[in-house]
Amino acid sequence: MMKKFGVVILLMMAMLTVLSAQETKVYNGYKELVAAVKQEIDEVDTEGFHEQYVEGLKSRKPGYILIDVRTKDKYQAGHIPGAYLVQRGVLESHIEKEAVWEGFRHAVPQKSDIIILYCRSGSRSALATKSLMTLGYKHVYSLNGGWNAWHEAYPKLERY
Protein backbone atom coordinates (compact mmCIF):
# COMPACT_ATOMS: atom_id res chain seq x y z
CA MET A 1 0.00 0.00 0.00
CA MET A 2 2.75 2.45 0.96
CA LYS A 3 4.66 1.59 -2.21
CA LYS A 4 1.62 2.46 -4.37
CA PHE A 5 1.16 5.70 -2.45
CA GLY A 6 4.81 6.62 -3.09
CA VAL A 7 4.43 5.89 -6.81
CA VAL A 8 1.30 8.07 -6.99
CA ILE A 9 3.13 10.94 -5.25
CA LEU A 10 6.08 10.64 -7.66
CA LEU A 11 3.73 10.64 -10.67
CA MET A 12 1.92 13.73 -9.37
CA MET A 13 5.23 15.53 -8.83
CA ALA A 14 6.36 14.60 -12.33
CA MET A 15 3.11 15.93 -13.80
CA LEU A 16 3.43 19.19 -11.89
CA THR A 17 7.01 19.59 -13.12
CA VAL A 18 5.96 19.02 -16.74
CA LEU A 19 3.00 21.39 -16.46
CA SER A 20 5.02 24.18 -14.86
CA ALA A 21 7.77 23.79 -17.49
CA GLN A 22 5.16 24.16 -20.23
CA GLU A 23 3.82 27.40 -18.71
CA THR A 24 7.19 29.17 -18.75
CA LYS A 25 8.01 30.66 -22.14
CA VAL A 26 11.69 31.20 -22.75
CA TYR A 27 12.58 34.01 -25.16
CA ASN A 28 15.70 34.24 -27.32
CA GLY A 29 16.46 37.73 -26.10
CA TYR A 30 15.20 41.10 -24.94
CA LYS A 31 13.72 42.15 -28.29
CA GLU A 32 11.69 38.96 -28.57
CA LEU A 33 10.43 39.38 -25.00
CA VAL A 34 9.38 42.98 -25.66
CA ALA A 35 7.65 42.00 -28.92
CA ALA A 36 5.69 39.30 -27.09
CA VAL A 37 4.71 41.66 -24.27
CA LYS A 38 3.56 44.29 -26.76
CA GLN A 39 1.04 41.74 -28.03
CA GLU A 40 -0.44 41.53 -24.52
CA ILE A 41 -0.67 45.22 -23.59
CA ASP A 42 -2.31 48.36 -24.89
CA GLU A 43 -0.14 51.03 -26.44
CA VAL A 44 -1.11 54.56 -27.27
CA ASP A 45 0.44 56.32 -30.24
CA THR A 46 1.91 59.80 -29.96
CA GLU A 47 -1.12 61.56 -31.42
CA GLY A 48 -3.63 59.68 -29.29
CA PHE A 49 -1.45 60.20 -26.24
CA HIS A 50 -1.15 63.92 -26.88
CA GLU A 51 -4.94 64.27 -27.01
CA GLN A 52 -5.33 62.36 -23.72
CA TYR A 53 -2.42 64.27 -22.22
CA VAL A 54 -3.81 67.71 -23.04
CA GLU A 55 -7.27 66.68 -21.80
CA GLY A 56 -5.76 65.26 -18.62
CA LEU A 57 -3.78 68.44 -17.94
CA LYS A 58 -6.76 70.70 -18.63
CA SER A 59 -9.16 68.79 -16.43
CA ARG A 60 -6.59 68.07 -13.70
CA LYS A 61 -8.24 64.70 -13.29
CA PRO A 62 -6.79 62.87 -10.32
CA GLY A 63 -7.30 59.54 -12.11
CA TYR A 64 -4.87 60.36 -14.93
CA ILE A 65 -1.19 59.67 -14.28
CA LEU A 66 1.82 59.96 -16.57
CA ILE A 67 4.91 58.07 -15.42
CA ASP A 68 8.43 58.30 -16.84
CA VAL A 69 10.23 55.02 -16.11
CA ARG A 70 13.65 56.17 -17.33
CA THR A 71 16.62 57.01 -15.12
CA LYS A 72 16.83 60.19 -13.07
CA ASP A 73 19.53 61.61 -15.37
CA LYS A 74 17.39 61.10 -18.48
CA TYR A 75 14.34 62.56 -16.73
CA GLN A 76 16.31 65.63 -15.66
CA ALA A 77 17.68 66.07 -19.19
CA GLY A 78 14.10 66.37 -20.47
CA HIS A 79 10.73 64.84 -19.84
CA ILE A 80 7.12 65.26 -20.82
CA PRO A 81 5.65 68.02 -18.66
CA GLY A 82 3.51 66.62 -15.86
CA ALA A 83 5.29 63.25 -15.79
CA TYR A 84 6.27 61.67 -12.51
CA LEU A 85 9.61 59.86 -12.33
CA VAL A 86 9.22 56.31 -11.05
CA GLN A 87 12.17 54.42 -12.45
CA ARG A 88 11.58 51.01 -14.02
CA GLY A 89 13.67 49.23 -11.41
CA VAL A 90 11.45 50.34 -8.53
CA LEU A 91 8.08 50.77 -10.23
CA GLU A 92 6.35 47.71 -8.82
CA SER A 93 7.47 48.46 -5.26
CA HIS A 94 6.81 52.23 -5.46
CA ILE A 95 3.48 52.36 -7.31
CA GLU A 96 1.53 51.82 -4.06
CA LYS A 97 3.85 53.60 -1.60
CA GLU A 98 2.14 56.57 -0.02
CA ALA A 99 5.45 58.27 0.79
CA VAL A 100 6.43 58.28 -2.89
CA TRP A 101 3.17 59.87 -4.01
CA GLU A 102 3.07 62.31 -1.08
CA GLY A 103 6.43 63.54 -2.39
CA PHE A 104 4.75 64.14 -5.75
CA ARG A 105 1.75 65.76 -4.02
CA HIS A 106 -0.45 63.24 -5.77
CA ALA A 107 -2.73 60.50 -4.50
CA VAL A 108 -1.53 56.92 -4.69
CA PRO A 109 -2.67 55.53 -8.06
CA GLN A 110 -5.84 53.48 -7.90
CA LYS A 111 -6.33 50.26 -9.85
CA SER A 112 -8.96 52.05 -11.99
CA ASP A 113 -6.84 55.11 -12.84
CA ILE A 114 -5.56 55.79 -16.34
CA ILE A 115 -1.80 55.31 -16.20
CA ILE A 116 0.43 56.03 -19.18
CA LEU A 117 4.05 54.93 -18.99
CA TYR A 118 6.93 55.94 -21.19
CA CYS A 119 10.64 55.36 -21.52
CA ARG A 120 13.09 56.34 -24.26
CA SER A 121 11.75 54.08 -27.01
CA GLY A 122 8.72 52.24 -25.62
CA SER A 123 10.37 48.93 -24.73
CA ARG A 124 10.89 49.31 -20.97
CA SER A 125 7.52 51.03 -20.65
CA ALA A 126 5.90 48.04 -22.38
CA LEU A 127 7.44 45.71 -19.79
CA ALA A 128 6.40 48.09 -17.01
CA THR A 129 2.85 48.19 -18.40
CA LYS A 130 2.67 44.40 -18.28
CA SER A 131 3.90 44.45 -14.67
CA LEU A 132 1.24 46.92 -13.57
CA MET A 133 -1.43 44.90 -15.38
CA THR A 134 -0.24 41.85 -13.46
CA LEU A 135 -0.65 43.88 -10.25
CA GLY A 136 -4.28 44.56 -11.17
CA TYR A 137 -4.17 48.01 -12.76
CA LYS A 138 -6.89 48.06 -15.39
CA HIS A 139 -6.15 51.07 -17.61
CA VAL A 140 -2.40 51.02 -18.18
CA TYR A 141 -0.86 52.07 -21.47
CA SER A 142 2.63 52.29 -22.90
CA LEU A 143 3.52 55.24 -25.11
CA ASN A 144 4.54 53.66 -28.40
CA GLY A 145 7.93 55.06 -29.36
CA GLY A 146 8.40 56.62 -25.92
CA TRP A 147 10.14 59.93 -25.27
CA ASN A 148 11.84 59.82 -28.68
CA ALA A 149 8.54 59.67 -30.58
CA TRP A 150 6.87 62.30 -28.39
CA HIS A 151 9.80 64.70 -28.61
CA GLU A 152 10.04 64.23 -32.38
CA ALA A 153 6.33 64.98 -32.80
CA TYR A 154 6.28 67.91 -30.36
CA PRO A 155 9.80 69.39 -30.30
CA LYS A 156 8.57 72.91 -29.58
CA LEU A 157 6.80 71.94 -26.37
CA GLU A 158 8.87 72.92 -23.41
CA ARG A 159 11.17 70.26 -22.05
CA TYR A 160 10.89 70.38 -18.28
Could you list the mean pLDDT of each consecutive 10-residue stretch along the chain, which spans 160 residues? 58 61 79 93 89 73 87 93 93 94 92 95 96 96 94 74
Beta-sheet strand order (sheet of 64-68): 42-44, 139-143, 114-118, 64-68, 84-85
Stated pTM of the model: 0.80
Q: What's 109's DSSP letter? A: P
Contacts of 97 (CB under 8 A, 6+ apart): 108
Structural contact between residues 92 and 131, judged by C-beta atoms closer than 8 angstroms = yes
| pLDDT value of residue 52 | 77
| pLDDT value of residue 82 | 87
| pLDDT value of residue 86 | 97
C-beta neighbour count of 9 within 10 angstroms: 10
| pLDDT value of residue 12 | 63
